[in-house]
Amino acid sequence: MKSKASFKSHPVHPILVSFPIAFLIGTFVSDMIADISGNNSFWNTGYYLVIAGIIMGLIAAIPGLIDYLFTVPPKSSAKKRGLKHALVNVSHLILFFIAFLIRRNDNPNTTLILILEAAGVILIFVAGWLGGTLVYRNQIGVDPRYAEAGKWKEAYFEETKEKIKVADKDELKLNQMKLLHVGSKRIVLGKTEKGYVAFDDHCTHKGGSLAGGAMICSTVQCPWHGSQFDVNNGQVKAGPAKENIHTYPLTESEGNVYLQF
């Protein structure tokens, strides 16, 4: 088993984005006031705000990229939304950077700067709407699990045809789940009243991570839109999902739980 840091549910990115949003919108407002009033001190304020905004935007992009790569479930609606969110954010940073380069000229075209910044502000609102959907609907950066779900557990394994030891027999408590990364596969190990079960982490509706949901009485519920699956045979118990999930055989011996493909 390889050990890696867990990237589940950290709110760093949603918190950090407040800074570039405030600084870049502040740049546009400051430059507008400077243009209308002719007061040069607002123009200087805009100059420093845009530098701070671009730097903070680049810093906020780091946890954003980590979320995109490691937290957002693969092949899901959130992955597509996350890509659009990233592209829109990069676009508004480019617009503000071009406006910044223009303002450094001896005789800058202030109208062009304001047009670029206004377009950047519109894109910030679009990115904010996409980002808000990622947080509130897809629960990226929040922990959606219920109070008794136990400590988040995640483990990495090489893909192999051999059986893999995935847990000690007493590692999970009742209804607790553990996310297994086996090569490129994401499999959930869960403990039910009848014993251990293993099933795909991928909800067949829009790709929500079932490991982040709730499992009670051998039923797992997707955290995104509430589809429910029987964890013993993978059958859909409640929609909107229509397709069953795949389940995997497990064996137990000498106090260990093994996954077999």
Helices (H), the chain: 12-16, 18-37, 40-66, 77-103, 110-136
CB 131 within 8 A of CB 82: no
Does residue 222 touch ligand FES according to CB under 6 A?
yes
* Residue closest to 87 by CA, chosen among 52, 51, 126, 139: 126
Report the C-alpha dihedral over residues 81, 83, 84, 85, rounded to 10 degrees: 80
Q: How far is the CB of 185 from ligand FES (least distance, A)?
A: 18
- Toward ligand FES, which CB reaches closer, 128 or 240? 240
Q: Is the torsion defined by CA of 76, 77, 78, 79 positive or negative?
A: positive
Near ligand FES in 64-93, by CB under 6 A? none
- Toward ligand FES, which CB reaches closer, 103 or 145? 145
With CB under 6 A as the contact rule, which of the stretches 2-10, 30-38, 116-124, 224-232 interacts with ligand FES? Answer: 224-232
Q: 35: which 2 tokens?
A: 């243009």
Q: How far is the CB of 165 from ligand FES (least distance, A)?
A: 29
Q: How far is the CB of 239 from ligand FES (least distance, A)?
A: 8
Near ligand FES in 190-209, by CB under 6 A? 203, 205-208
The backbone torsions φ and ψ at residue 209, rounded to the nearest 5 degrees and listed phi first, read -85, 115
CA pair distance 116, 120, nearest whole angstrom: 6
- Toward ligand FES, which CB reaches closer, 139 or 176? 139
With CB under 6 A as the contact rule, which of the stretches 7-15, 34-42, 157-165, 223-231 interacts with ligand FES? Answer: 223-231
CA pair distance 238, 53, nearest whole angstrom: 46
Q: 76: which 2 tokens?
A: 């899901």
CA pair distance 10, 67, nearest whole angstrom: 9
Near ligand FES in 232-251, by CB under 6 A? 240-241
H or E element: which one contains 216?
strand 214-216
Does residue 224 touch ligand FES according to CB under 6 A?
yes
- Toward ligand FES, which CB reaches closer, 95 or 241? 241
Q: How far is the CB of 147 from ligand FES (least distance, A)?
A: 21
Does residue 145 touch ligand FES according to CB under 6 A?
no
- Toward ligand FES, which CB reaches closer, 175 or 227? 227
- Toward ligand FES, which CB reaches closer, 26 or 240? 240
Pairing between strand 219-221 and 228-230? antiparallel
- Toward ligand FES, which CB reaches closer, 100 or 224? 224
Q: 191: which 2 tokens?
A: 């403990």
Residues engaged in binding ligand FES (CB under 6 A): 203, 205-208, 222, 224-227, 240-241
